[in-house]
Amino acid sequence: MPLLEVNDVHAYYGNIHALKGVSLTVEKGEIVTLIGGNGAGKTTTLRTITGLMKPRDGHVIFDNEDVSKYPAHAWVSRGIAMVPEGRGVFAKLSVEENLELGAFHRNDKENIKDDIEKSYEMFPRLGERRTQLAGTMSGGEQQMLAVTRALMSKPRLLLMDEPSMGLAPVLVDVIFEAIERINQEGMTVLLVEQNAHMALQIANRGYVLQTGQIVLTDKADVLQKDPTVQKAYLGIE
């Protein structure tokens, strides 16, 4: 049984048919990537998974339960965390306070401190800046913060919406290495990316989304060699 199963989901913004029957699965312990161009429906897919958006048709099943049965906003306590598009951090709070807020639904106060220390071990740059206001950090540092803050909720599935957006190549490497490391420690990741090259390097499997439809899916290394993917997303003619 996969941890996450998206089954023939249709979603609309008013009359705009944004998802036209999307299906995908994520097994426990995998990194799965969802690649696609601007406006393909990647963010919309994530929104239906968290329940922020109700699909008009189809099901999202997380951990054997239909997500639509959740009360609104219950996804965090059910074990899903999201790193939102465009790295939303609380600009006027310190790094440490951002991390504390990441644990907003947890009750185990003692462990929160330990987990914050673990975040600093993962990204020493955050540890050096624990009292700095998040808004004054570089884009890469903010993305590190967004990732670790998502982890603070102790999720079983981590959704990431274009973590490489707007980052210098060096920083993209740092972030992707971290994703791999998190995954090796047992985290299941669904990674939405336009940077197909990087995403396919660390992912186990991938899906290609085009105007609201999955047009291709396979093992990541196979997709890397696929001529259409190479042409459309890897810039290889």
Partner 1 sequence: MNEELRGTIKTGLIAGVVTLSLGMIGILVAFNKRFIVTDAVTLADLLLFGMAVIAGYLGASSLKEHSMGRRLLHGGLAGMLAAVPTFLLILLTLVWEGIRDSFINVEPALVSLLTLDNENVVVGGILLIVVFGVLGLVGVGYAQLPVRFRRPISMSLAWTIGSGVMSDILIGILRPRMSNDTLRSLFGSTGLQPVPFVVLFVLLTAVFFWWQQGGQTRYQTLRQNFTPRQQKSSRRVSISLLVIFLLILPSLLGVYLSEIFNEIGRFVLMGLGLNIAIGLAGLLDLGYVTNFAVGAYIMALLTSSSQFGPENPWSFWLAVPICVVAAMFTGFILALPVLKMRGDYLAIATLGFGEIIRVLARSDALKPVIGGAQGILQIPAAQIGGFMAQVMGYILNPINNLLSRFELGILATNSNGDIVFGNPPQLYYLFILASLLMLFISRRLNNSRTGRRWMAIREDEDVAAAMGINTTNAKVLAFTLSAASGGLAGAIFAAKLGSIFPSSFELLISINVLALIIVGGLGSIPGVIVGAFALVGIPQLLSEFAEFRLLLYGIALIGMMLVRPEGLWPSEVHRREIHSHGEDETAVPVSVKP
Interacting residue ranges for ligand ATP, rule: CB under 6 A: 13, 16, 18, 36, 38-44, 85, 194
Q: Is 43 in the site for partner 1 (CB under 8 A)?
A: no
Instruction: List beta partners, residue 12.
Output: 17
- Whether the CB-CB separation of 164 and 196 falls below 8 Å is answered with no
90 touches partner 1 (CB under 8 A): yes
Measured CA to CA, the distance from residue 50 to residue 73 in angstroms comes to 8
- Binding segment for Mg ion (CB under 5 A), chosen from 62-70, 81-89, 145-153, 194-202, is 81-89
Q: How far is the CB of 40 from ligand ATP (least distance, A)?
A: 4
Question: Is residue 17 involved in binding partner 1 (CB under 8 A)?
Answer: no
Q: Residue 170: how many CB atoms within 10 A of its CB?
A: 8
* Binding of partner 1 by 122 (CB under 8 A): no
188 φ/ψ angles, rounded to the nearest 5 degrees: -90, 135
Helical residues (DSSP H) of the chain, grouped into ranges: 42-50, 75-78, 95-102, 109-122, 124-128, 139-151, 169-184, 196-202, 220-225, 227-232
Contact between 93 and partner 1 (CB under 8 A)? Answer: yes
**Which one of residues 44, 153, 188, 195 is an interface residue with partner 1 (CB under 8 A)?**
153
User: How would you class 34 by CB atoms within 10 Å of its CB: exposed for 0-12, middle for 13-18, buried for 19 or more?
Assistant: buried
Asked if 82 is part of the footprint of partner 1 (rule: CB under 8 A), the reply reads yes
Cβ closer to Mg ion: 12 or 101?
Answer: 12
**Exactly one of 7, 23, 25, 43 binds Mg ion (CB under 5 A); which one?**
43
Least gap, CB of 35 to ligand ATP (angstroms): 10
* Site residues for Mg ion per CB under 5 A: 43, 85
